[in-house]
Structure formats: C-alpha cells, structure tokens
Amino acid sequence: MKAIRITERGGGPQALQIQEAEDPVPGPSEVLVEVRATALNRADLLQTLGLYPAPPGAPVDIPGLEYAGRVAALGPRVARWRSGDRVMGLIGGGAFAQKVVAHERECVPIPDPMDFAEAAALPEAFFTAFDALVLQGELRSSESLLIHAVGSGVGTAAVQIGSALGGVVLGTSRSAAKLDRCAKELGLAHPILARQTPPHFEPQVRELTAGLGADLALELVGGDYFPETVAALASRGRVVLVGLLAGAEASVDLRLLLSKRIQVIGTVLRSRAIEEKISLARAFERQMLPLFRSGRLRPVVDSVFRADQVGEAFARMTSNESFGKVVLEW
C-alpha cells in the first residue's frame, strides 16, 4: 500500500512523502479497512514536528487519527462486519495510509447518503465533542453552553450537538465571518467576537445568561482563555479542557473554583485504553448516528485535497482560515 510517511524527525509537514509501506494485517477481532479519506488534526501536525509521539502500537512514521472507507478483510473472530461495508472511526495513528486495521467494535457505520470525504471529517470532531459534552460534561437541556474556537472541527461539531440536545449555545471566535457562519448554518444562538488580548468575554457571557454565567464550557483553547472561562462560569459550572491552542499554562484564581464549586475536567482520546474507545464508539453510534440520519447533525468539511497535496492541506489548516475539517482523499 501507499502511505504518507514522516521522512525526517521533527521536519514538519514538509517532511511528509508518499511512500510504499507494508499492508497491516488484522488480528482475530480486527478488520482491515481500505481507506478512501482521512482528515487533518493538530495532533498530526505536532507529530510531524516531533512534539507528539505516537502511542504504543501505532506507526511512529505514519500520522492520521481518523478514517473512512470500506472493510476489505476480516479477522477470524469478526462477526459485526462484512467485506464491503462502509465504516469510519478513530485510531491511535496510521490513518494517512491506504489501509488501516481497527478493532471491529471501534468501527462505526457510515450513514447513507454520507460520502467518504464527509465521513472522514466526522470521527475526531464529533466523537470528541460528544464525549466532552455528553459523557463527561453531562450537558442537560436548557443549560447554557460556552464553546471556544467555534469554527474549528470540534467547535462546529459541539455547536450542533449542543443545539440538538436543547442547550443554549454561546460561542467565541476571533473571526466575525466564522461566527456568522456558525449562527446561520449550525445553530449558534449567541456569537461572541473575542479579538482582545488577553481575551475578555466574561461580561458578554454574563449578559447573555441573565447574569448567571455558563453552566458548561468546552475549552478548546487553553492559555489565557482558561481563567476568563472560569470567571464566566455559573455556580457549580463545569469546564471540560480539550485543547491548548493558546498554550499549556494559565494563572487561575483558585478562590473562584472553591466559591463557585466549579468542576474542571481534563480529557484526551488518543491515549485511552481500547476498552474506553470501544465504549465511546458504541455510545456514539446509539445516541448520535440517528441525528446524522435525520439531518440534525452533519460533518463540516472546509476543503478536500488529494493525498499528494498533503503539504497544501496542512497549510490550509494552519492558516486558521479553515472552517471545519480539512480532508485528504486517496
């Protein structure tokens, strides 16, 4: 098979080249998937820069966390799938290749009439948002939800999930155009432009929530956004920390955490045990796939590039002009 490989440690996207690689072999409970499309993530960028090593068992030189394709071969114990079935999912690495293997219970069926490019834009963004908002954040109907970086892949997924579940969604972005698209296309109720440095959105959140603050915050930015997020939370509010786009350090007044009884939940998907990943995939299939079939949820694809345009694809993602996911097709 062909794969997009890291040819120089720490070389960045410029060090990615399409080369031959050995076909992976499915284990007893695994399926071999012929990948039609994958999507770019910040973790892939960090891996090419030598800053985010692949977890044990994942290829060290082939990035890629999500895939969409057809089942090509079955391990001897597989009972859930047949050859030719359309599937998508998350893996620890190696999805920038024409073939991957995955545990049969980690795979999720691609709902009709979704195509492969759309399906490739779904797993990382929507699995992450669903896990953070529903399974960990325990979002309830009519609660106020604050989402940062709403034009990102996870942000666009979270806006849709929050709205579909009856939440009152507030979202921040440094781009007025992205906020406008989220409001018009995805159901964002309250757009908040956050261009200040350091950010200062707490007064707007208070005003939009009748002075109470947000019940739940999806923190995709970190850095100096985090203390402002804590200040913008309601009493007994929850914040789920998913991303660190603005940095890994923040100064927080711990008295706010105490007096408001705030819960801070940190989360990551890539390094979880397979049992946890299977549980997430099964919960997502039960609770979210019906919403895709009904049209309540949809993947947001910014752009689609050929596999041999991977450098251009990363340039698009890192420009911060993208809205939704950047996809690669074989």
- 149 and 114 within one domain: no
pLDDT at position 6 is 98
CATH code of the domain in which 71 resides: 3.90.180.10
**282 domain residue, yes or no:** no
pLDDT at position 271 is 85
- 111 and 7 within one domain: yes
- 309 and 252 within one domain: no
Q: What are phi and psi of 238, to 5 degrees?
A: -125, 140
- 145 and 178 within one domain: yes
Domain boundary (246, 266, 286) is at: 266
Structural domain tally of the chain?
2
**24 domain residue, yes or no:** yes
**171 domain residue, yes or no:** yes
What's the domain range around 225?
125-266
- 221 and 317 within one domain: no
- 180 and 104 within one domain: no
- 240 and 134 within one domain: yes
pLDDT at position 124 is 97
CA distance 235 to 238: 9
Q: How many CB atoms lie within 10 A of CB 207?
A: 11
Q: At what angle do helices 153-164 and 123-130 cross, to 10 degrees?
A: 50
- 223 and 148 within one domain: yes
pLDDT at position 320 is 85
pLDDT at position 196 is 87
pLDDT at position 197 is 87
CATH code of the domain in which 236 resides: 3.40.50.720
- 249 and 131 within one domain: yes
- 189 and 114 within one domain: no
Domain boundary (216, 250, 266) is at: 266
Low-confidence ranges of the chain (pLDDT < 70): none
pLDDT at position 288 is 98
**34 domain residue, yes or no:** yes
- 107 and 180 within one domain: no
What is the bridge-based pairing of β-strands 99-103 and 301-306?
A: unpaired
- 84 and 19 within one domain: yes
Q: How many CB atoms lie within 10 A of CB 254?
A: 9
Does this model's pTM top 0.75? My answer is: yes
H helix and E strand count, the chain: 11, 15
